[in-house]
Homo-oligomer: A and B are copies of this chain.
Amino acid sequence: MEIFTKPKTEILFSEGIKQIPTSYIREILKVTADPDMISFAGGLPNPALFPVEEIKKVTAEILNKEAANILQYAKSEGYLPLREFIANRYKEKYNLEVSPEEILITNGSQQALDLIGKVFLNPGDQVLLEKPSYLGAIQSFSFYQPKFITVPLEADGPDIEHLNKILSIQKPKFFYSIPNFQNPSGITYSESKRKTVCEAVINNNLLLVEDDPYGEINFSGEMYPPLKTQIGNKGILLGTFSKIVAPGLRLGWVVAEKSIIKQLIRAKQASDLHSNNLSQRIIYQYLNQFNLENHLEKLRSNYKLQCNWMIAAMRKYFPKEINYMEPKGGMFIWVQLPKGFSVMDLAKETIKQKVVFVPGNTFYVDGSGENTFRLNFSNSDEKTIEKGIKRMGKILEQFMSER
């Protein structure tokens, strides 16, 4: 009997798995293990802002009170008080009426994206994306082998003429949209574009998958009601505690009409039975006992500060030919180099100088975006931002002079 040998024939993996683009971001995270590396790459929240003491307190309390319950199997749809909290908050904050039965708790919104792919997509189905779009969504959906079509983003949201043209000739299964402080571009839809997009959704009987991880991290404190308030059952709305509480607890949620939630629950059951029970109870008790608005205020003012540090350093050190937009919230600054630049060449050079960012082409399904990149400011302090941007500035100056 032959054992411990290589397989005689190569292992045949699925067509779907071959379609998932490798995450350059997660590859970069390996480089960032180097403690000397300055990382503007990942989308890590600032760990100094995690509500550590509050989480310690509620964790001890709930384990003292009902550990056996917490450690047992639980419902696929998620912990009811947590779903009720989310529903109430939408009602109070945005006057959006949703019932707890229209909410499914997921392992971060990444799982919501995967479950949406699972529930809706057959190979060859069309998915409409913003251009550029969030890499994690591209990865999740890619497994299901859709045909991606894209609508370019302008400074105030999607190019509406382009959107209408697409919808006049194509019938995408859904439009995946990040209306607030978009990842990677930082763009926020204007009031008027929100309205126009919602009209297009209704008129074309389209589903809108509205991903809103950053809506509450708006530097002005201004409110950005979900598009779902305008489109009702046409909206599938994704939220996450990763950006507003802590990502290590892996909790997000999806809001959709009951017939869709029913299918998402089937997919959830087959995927991992239910979300982490301890984390759900911790988050719920945290929300129940503490004032989330106060915490959000703290996040907003801190991230605004960090963003301002980065913008100030970019003004100081980046060549004038380089374009970027000040975001009104979120975690990212999107940079556009003059046409003809290779961002991959730039990345190689900055990594040598111990600064890392995400090349923009990873956010384009058509391989374009080679003159763009994304900077994250939420995970660096003032000194590190200054130092990293200064180093990048030098390299950029050199690149510009060599043109």
- Produce 1/0 per residue, A24-37, CB < 8 A to B: 00100100000000
What residue of chain B has the Cβ atom nearest to residue A203's Cβ? Answer: B1
Known: A14-B144, A56-B60, A279-B278. A108 touches B71 (CB 8 A): no
Stretch of A86-94, A265-273, A325-333, A384-392 at the chain-chain interface: A265-273
Q: Quick check: B233 and A4 within 8 Å, CB to CB?
A: yes
Docked complex Cα distance between A277 and B44 (Å) = 14
Q: Is the interface of A mostly helix, strand, loop or mixed?
A: helix
Q: Quick check: B71 and A52 within 8 Å, CB to CB?
A: yes
Q: A residues near B, CB below 8 A?
A: 1-9, 11-17, 20, 22-23, 26, 29, 42, 44-45, 47-48, 50, 52, 55-56, 59-60, 63-64, 67-76, 106-108, 110-111, 114, 118-122, 136, 139-140, 142-144, 173, 198-199, 202, 205, 207, 230-234, 242, 246-250, 259-260, 263, 266-267, 269-279, 282
List the B side residues contacting A74 at CB < 8 Å. Answer: 248
Q: Quick check: A249 and B266 within 8 Å, CB to CB?
A: no
Give which listed residue, B44, B56, B121, contacts A64 with CB less than 8 A: B56
Q: Quick check: B114 and A272 within 8 Å, CB to CB?
A: yes
Give which listed residue, B14, B139, B275, contacts A118 with CB less than 8 A: B14
Docked complex Cα distance between A140 and B139 (Å) = 20
List the B side residues contacting A259 at CB < 8 Å. Answer: 11
List the B side residues contacting A275 at CB < 8 Å. Answer: 250
Give which listed residue, B44, B72, B274, contacts A72 with CB less than 8 A: B44
Nearest 8 interchain pairs by C-beta: A248-B277, A71-B246, A4-B232, A47-B68, A107-B272, A111-B272, A52-B67, A71-B248
What residue of chain B has the Cβ atom nearest to residue A267's Cβ? Answer: B17
Docked complex Cα distance between A295 and B263 (Å) = 39
List the B side residues contacting A202 at CB < 8 Å. Answer: 1-3
Q: Quick check: B55 and A7 within 8 Å, CB to CB?
A: no
List the B side residues contacting A16 at CB < 8 Å. Answer: 118, 122
